[in-house]
Amino acid sequence: MNQPAVIHSDGALALALALVGSSTLPTLLLDDQLVVLAASMSFGLDFDVDPISIRGTPFAEIAKGAWAKPQLIAMLKVTAAGYAEVNGYEVSLARSGQETRTIVVRAQKLMYGDGEPVRLMLSATDVTDARSTEQAKDALIREKAVLLQEIQHRVANSLQIIASILLQSARKVQSEEARGPLRDAHNRVMSIAEVQRQLAVSVSSAVPLRDYLSHLCESLSASMIQDHRRLAIEVRVDESIVGADASVSIGLIVTELVINALKHAFLDRRHGKIVVSYQARGEDWTLSVADDGVGIPTGRAAAKPGLGTGIVDALAKNLGAEISVANTRPGTMVSISRRAAVAGTIVKPLVSV
Amino acid sequence: MMHCKNVVLVVEDNALVRFLTCELFEAAGFVALQADGTLAAVHVLETRDDVGLVVSDLAMPSHHDGIALVELVRKRWRPVKLLVITGNLTASRCELPRDAHLFFKPFNDHVLLKAAEDLLQAA
């Protein structure tokens, strides 16, 4: 019934030429002397030549020799001899009156029958626009990196200015009563600044808590403890890595509670230790600041009203956590705990009656 | 060359930060000189022989200016101590001479002053 159509040699040639001619990839069919036998319409369009009249032209003479790159010609000759292929060879095509384009050339010898004339298939892809887009993208990425560094630098300077002004104001003020809040404000600014530094050096936008709280407590210790042999702050934190906002909140809570402890727990000036601890298990975590000082005087509520406690309450609520205060005899422990189960209950909407 | 034990040169291109840092040192009992960049810093070091410590920002106006100043001080004024501050939070230690201390902004004032005192006390 259906037999494969036999294409006579003339028909075969006509088919081949038609195939080359209609190729969407800019293509040339060359003979063993690198003379053009056929060119695709797309080649004609892309490189401004007439695909019909170019037949019979040596490849090296197209566009007044613009394609005659010695290395490319040599490679095409080797390809025609059957020893190699041209696999993505890049040339800079410079034609008079036109801007230089970057062309990727591929060529292979067609294996279509023993004893048949040598035929080379050559394709030429203009990648100039794609390349310049890539370069523009790279330049943009570099620009953004520089911009980011500039912003970081400016943020660091701004924080430095704020911190220094607070300290300077504290120095200038006469009374200890007025100086205290300014120094506390300074410590709070430094705790936020430390989060910035952690974020800048971290790969993700998250903060390794142990690193952060250790640096924070070192800073607090340097600022607030006169005699390091008498008073020390110890940090016991697990491997938790926490998001930026939560870190800021945790850092501010620790700052407040440590400042409180330093102000109230060691009034009789004996030796003392403050322990800052954070442990997490799954979604649950507990942050605590404990001192071995005088403890809470009986009859007093958990903490004195004042800017300090207000912040801790607000931050704990923000974190979905609860505060508890325990008398540890000696000393006091303030714990902030988040239990996912409990937190879920807290945020459940009220049912209207 | 005699180095007075408490003369500090603060090199920083941001005027406000420079002013506040000088105030900090002055309040702590140092004599604080100012320079807004490498050229000014070199001028001070060439005209005075009593500077004990150079406290310098690294990025003025580019990171390399700061490094260049640090290297210059190390080469021409060996006995002068170096304390380097940077707002570039990812700056690494290895570009600096080994005996230069590195601080990130904002620095803890107590720690900075203590480091300055220690550097100036050391022989």
Q: What is A116-140 written as a DSSP string?
A: PPPEEEEEEEE-HHHHHHHHHHHHH
The pLDDT assigned to A350 comes to: 44
Of all residues in chain A, what percent carry a pLDDT higher than 90?
A: 55
CB–CB contact B104 A196 (8 Å): no
The first and second tokens of residue B13, run together, are: 């291109």
pLDDT in tens, A107-119: 999 988 888 888 9
**How many Å apart are CA B51 and CA B2, to the nearest integer?**
9
The first and second tokens of residue B29, run together, are: 């009992």
φ/ψ of residue A70, rounded to 5:
-50, -45
Report the residue of chain B nearest A217, measured CA to CA.
Answer: B108
Which residues, including other chains, have CB under 8 Å from residue A334's CB and lie 6 or more apart?
A257, A288, A289, A290, A303, A323, A324, A325
Q: Specify burial of residue A117 (Cβ count, 10 A radius: 0-12, 13-18, 19+).
A: exposed
Instruction: Tell me which chain B residues have a C-beta less than 8 angstroms from the C-beta of A152.
Output: 87-89
Which member of B89, B105, B111 has the closest CB to residue A160? Answer: B105
The pLDDT assigned to A349 comes to: 42
Closest CA to A209 of A157, A273, A254, A143: A254
The pLDDT assigned to A269 comes to: 66
pLDDT in tens, A184-239: 999 999 999 988 888 877 777 889 999 999 999 999 998 888 888 889 999 999 99
Closest CA to A16 of A42, A47, A39, A50: A39
Strands (E), chain B: 7-11, 31-35, 53-57, 81-86, 101-104
**How many Å apart are CA B88 and CA B109, to the nearest integer?**
18
- Given a cut of 50, whether residue A300 has pLDDT beyond it is no
Using pLDDT thresholds of 50, 70 and 90, give the confidence band for residue A353: very low
The pLDDT assigned to A105 comes to: 96
Supply the mean pLDDT for chain A: 87
Is B3 in the A-facing interface, judged by CB distances under 8 Å?
no
pLDDT in tens, A257-282: 999 898 888 877 678 999 999 999 98
- Given a cut of 70, whether residue A332 has pLDDT beyond it is yes
pLDDT in tens, A60-82: 999 999 999 999 999 999 999 99
Closest CA to A219 of A255, A252, A243, A262: A255
Using pLDDT thresholds of 50, 70 and 90, give the confidence band for residue A86: very high
CB–CB contact B20 A161 (8 Å): yes
Report pTM: 0.69
CB–CB contact A156 B108 (8 Å): no
**How many Å apart are CA A272 and CA A265, to the nearest integer?**
9
**How many Å apart are CA A62 and CA A60, to the nearest integer?**
6
Q: What is the H or E stretch that residue A289 is in?
A: strand A284-291
Using an 8 Å Cβ cutoff, are B88 and A152 in contact? Answer: yes
Using pLDDT thresholds of 50, 70 and 90, give the confidence band for residue A153: confident
Residues 70-109 of B with CB under 8 A from A: 86-90, 104-109
- Please give the average per-residue pLDDT across A26-54, as a whole number: 94
φ/ψ of residue B122, rounded to 5:
-55, 145
Using a CB cutoff of 8 Å and minimum separation of 24, what contacts does A127-135 make?
A: A127/A90, A127/A102, A127/A103, A128/A101, A128/A102, A128/A103, A131/A102
The pLDDT assigned to B1 comes to: 40
Using an 8 Å Cβ cutoff, are A266 and A231 in contact? Answer: yes
pLDDT in tens, A1-10: 566 666 667 7
Instruction: Tell me which chain A residues have a C-beta less than 8 angstroms from the C-beta of B104.
Output: 156, 197
Instruction: Tell me which chain B residues have a C-beta less than 8 angstroms from the C-beta of A149.
Output: 88
| Residues of chain B falling short of pLDDT 50 | 1-3
pLDDT in tens, A243-258: 988 999 999 999 999 9
Using an 8 Å Cβ cutoff, are B46 and B33 in contact? Answer: no
CB–CB contact A167 B90 (8 Å): no
Instruction: Tell me which chain B residues have a C-beta less than 8 angstroms from the C-beta of A196.
Output: 89
